[in-house]
Amino acid sequence: MLNFVTLFNSGYLTRGLVLYQSLEKQCANFHLYIVAFDAATFDYFTTNPQEHLTVISLEQFEDDELKRVKSTRSVAEYCWTCTASTILYCITNFKLSNCTYIDADMRFYSDPKVLVDEMGNDSVLITEHRYTAKYDQSITSGKYCVQFVTFKNTVDGMTVLNWWRNACIDWCYNRVEDGKFGDQKYLDSWTTKFKGVHELKHLGGGIAPWNVQQYNFNKKNNKIIGTEISSGKTFEAVFFHYHSLKFFENEIVLLSDTMYDLTANVIDTFYKEYVKEINSQYKIVKRAAPAINANGVFGPAKYLPMSFSTLKKYYLENFRSSKKNVFGLKVLQQIKNHYYFYLNSF
């Protein structure tokens, strides 16, 4: 059996539900553990139990070491601090042979067993960002992404996991300092520092806004097949990481950070269906628990979906920042990477 753990609060509830349902659809034998970072999330899953899901409250999860540093971390930093501890908690308390941490804002498109099987006899699996060159943030954010990290309950696996947990308790902040960044840059040294660490080769594990420019996609027999543009190599999409997707008032969604180029192929293949699924889960949650902000709505959007008024706003902002923008050339790029949409447009 594949065991997964993730953590989130009620603002990510619909994402967590879509994640779970994608595992149910794609993974033949799995269990998902959710560390609920607020009472609303814990209560929702307690009231609405799922067959292959166990919800864990903060009161159950937090130990003295985590409580000691909690007040020194922001909300995001504390989530990062807890990542390694969620895996350790599940392996220890549920006597698991393996456990994979996964980010809640992901969706699976085929069975992740192929990724874990690639480890062979190794005990730890880590995934690269595989940055497109112009977005390479390896120096600051790290070569690897804490999005899908597998540990086996072996001597080698637990050695790395305990080291990571202790390191994150000692230091885990949203800044670059002495070669560290959050919980993530610690992974850069693992292949040389420890035994039994495997770097994932499968291109279908870890498709994300920062690397998707390297691939073309098409659907075949209900599967998404990617082609690496540089090599022509084909692969099956296993999961997509919907990093920086945000919801705003008036039913507006921002698909991704606008620094990343997303083609119509990518939006049609991945984002449209994902947003539909999120919206569907939102309606279900609203009926069961209307007080929950299940999409994590941020407030008003900075920009509206594309219209004449949006174009005008872009132009005036650019002109005010520099008279060199009088011809509106910068606006062309902003139009291309304008990812604000109304939910009903999907």
Largest Cα separation within the chain, whole Å, is 64
Q: What is the mean pLDDT of residues 65-88?
A: 98
- Evaluate if residue 147 carries a pLDDT over 80: yes
> Domain ends where: 218, 241, 264?
241
pLDDT digits (tens, 9 = 90+) for 5-64: 999 999 999 999 999 999 999 998 999 999 999 999 999 999 999 999 999 999 999 999
- Evaluate if residue 268 carries a pLDDT over 80: yes
**Among 46, 41, 47, 51, CA closest to 15:** 41
The Cα-based distances of 84 to 44, 91, 152, 160 in angstroms read 24, 11, 13, 10
Residue 68 and residue 32: Cα distance in Å, rounded? 27
> Domain ends where: 241, 265, 291?
241
- What pTM did the predictor assign? 0.95
Residues 252 and 137 in one domain: no
Domain that holds residue 84: 2-241
Residues 314 and 196 in one domain: no
Residues 192 and 280 in one domain: no
Residues 258 and 229 in one domain: no
Q: What angle do CA 150, 87, 129 make, to 5 degrees?
A: 45
Residues 191 and 323 in one domain: no
Q: How many domains does the chain have?
A: 2
- Greater confidence (105 vs 311) lies with 105
The Cα-based distances of 244 to 241, 255, 258 in angstroms read 9, 7, 10
Tell me what pLDDT residue 327 has.
58
Tell me what pLDDT residue 20 has.
98
Q: Which tokens is 324 given?
A: 């060199």
Residues 259 and 231 in one domain: no
Average of per-residue pLDDT values in the chain: 95
Tell me what pLDDT residue 148 has.
98
Residues 185 and 288 in one domain: no
Residues 258 and 335 in one domain: yes
pLDDT digits (tens, 9 = 90+) for 308-335: 888 888 878 877 777 666 556 677 888 8
Residues 40 and 117 in one domain: yes
Residues 173 and 296 in one domain: no
Q: What percent of the chain has pLDDT over 90?
A: 89
Tell me what pLDDT residue 6 has.
98
- Evaluate if residue 168 carries a pLDDT over 90: yes
pLDDT digits (tens, 9 = 90+) for 113-130: 999 999 999 999 999 999
Split at pLDDT 50, 70, 90, the class of 264 is very high
DSSP secondary structure string for all residues of 52-79 = TEEEE-HHHH--HHHHHHHTTS-HHHHH
pLDDT digits (tens, 9 = 90+) for 203-246: 999 999 999 999 999 999 999 999 999 999 999 999 999 999 99
Residues 260 and 291 in one domain: yes
> Domain ends where: 241, 267, 288?
241
Residues 231 and 307 in one domain: no
